[in-house]
Amino acid sequence: MILEVTGLRVEFPSRHGNLVALDGVSFSIAPGEVLGVVGESGAGKSVTGLAVIGLLDPPGRIAGGEIRLEGRRIDDLGPEALRRLRGRRIGMVFQDPLTSLNPLYTIGRQLEETILAHLYVSRPESRKRAISLLGETGIPAPEERLHHFPHQFSGGMRQRVVIALALAAEPSLVIADEPTTALDVSIQAQIIALLRRIARTRGTAVMLITHDMGVIAETADRVAVMYAGRLVEIGAVREVLHSPRHPYTAGLMGSIPKIGASRKHKLVQIDGAMPRLGAIPAGCAFHPRCTSRLPRCSAERPELLDAGSTLAACWLHVPDAGRV
């Protein structure tokens, strides 16, 4: 496994008490695998990514659990060791390519600087690598584009540059947080294909954080569904999307409009909204909105359990769960 996260807990101490942003989150990503992390706003998907790369905004902190990268523990590293890890072992791609690039430097300079900072190579070699990275991420005429500034690129091309930057030091893990959200659909499809290709050809583990189930369906091998700071379901993408075992996943899938569905059909509606961090219900966090809740759901929190095709944190999949 490239990345192994076990029982991760992230807290944000505040005036209103300790806000638990992540609670008992466990997952792993194998080489060449794309794990989709999906959830609605406030589910904790971005916090999960930030915790892994050690970029939680203070006062946020990891309060429990373990993060291992290639077998080595990284959640207890100091800031300097983490800084060296980022870029070298873990590459990052964020939503807005414009804020990830320095507007004052050519992209060639930014790429070469990153390569030189992390790898022991000569200058001419770093240039050669920069050109081949741009080529690999699908930028036409990379030799010329090297001398261009970020503003001279379109949104989709910029995101390709950011992906090239993330790959510069040949990291084993790439964390992509909403990499296609700022892009048009036609460009989105191209970036999705690129991410997939990178995982396949380079054997890079990819953690793809997104709110968009469509992007997950196209890119991910496995998918982890988050709700109120917890993992509610994890499994192979086909299983989770086709036959979700957790009522939240099922509701989420039903609420997505699909082309070709009859208009007479109303969309499945999950009433209510995701709880605020300060007011997460006891037991299963989803129970107040769940239509198939049992008495046990409000009392006891379910762990991820074998639910047939996937793992789901839901009492419905325990044979005699009805009894408390």
Binding site for another protein (CB under 8 A): 40-41, 154, 156-157, 184-190, 192-193, 211-215, 217-218, 237-238, 241-242, 251-252, 254-261, 263, 266-271, 273-274
| Cβ nearer to another protein, comparing 92 with 274 | 274
Assess contact for 36 and 220: CB atoms under 8 A: yes
Phi, psi values for residue 62, rounded to 5°: -80, 120
Residues across the chain: 324
| Cβ nearer to another protein, comparing 75 with 212 | 212
Instruction: Give the Cα separation of 115 and 37 in Å (integer).
Output: 29
Residue from 248, 289, 293 nearest 271 by CA = 289
Smallest gap from residue 34 Cβ to another protein (A): 14
| Cβ nearer to another protein, comparing 41 with 122 | 41
Smallest gap from residue 229 Cβ to another protein (A): 16
Q: Where does 211-318 show beta strands of DSSP type E? A: 222-227, 230-236, 305-306, 311-312
Smallest gap from residue 5 Cβ to another protein (A): 24
Assess contact for 231 and 7: CB atoms under 8 A: no
**Residue whose structure tokens are 């700071």:** 229
Name the DSSP letter for residue 86: H
Name the DSSP letter for residue 226: E
| Cβ nearer to another protein, comparing 63 with 189 | 189
Smallest gap from residue 42 Cβ to another protein (A): 9
Smallest gap from residue 76 Cβ to another protein (A): 34
| Cβ nearer to another protein, comparing 77 with 256 | 256
Adjacent-strand bridge partners of 68 = 4, 73
| Cβ nearer to another protein, comparing 190 with 298 | 190
Smallest gap from residue 41 Cβ to another protein (A): 6
Amino acid at 158: R
Q: Report the run of H or E that residue 209 belongs to, with start and end.
A: strand 205-210
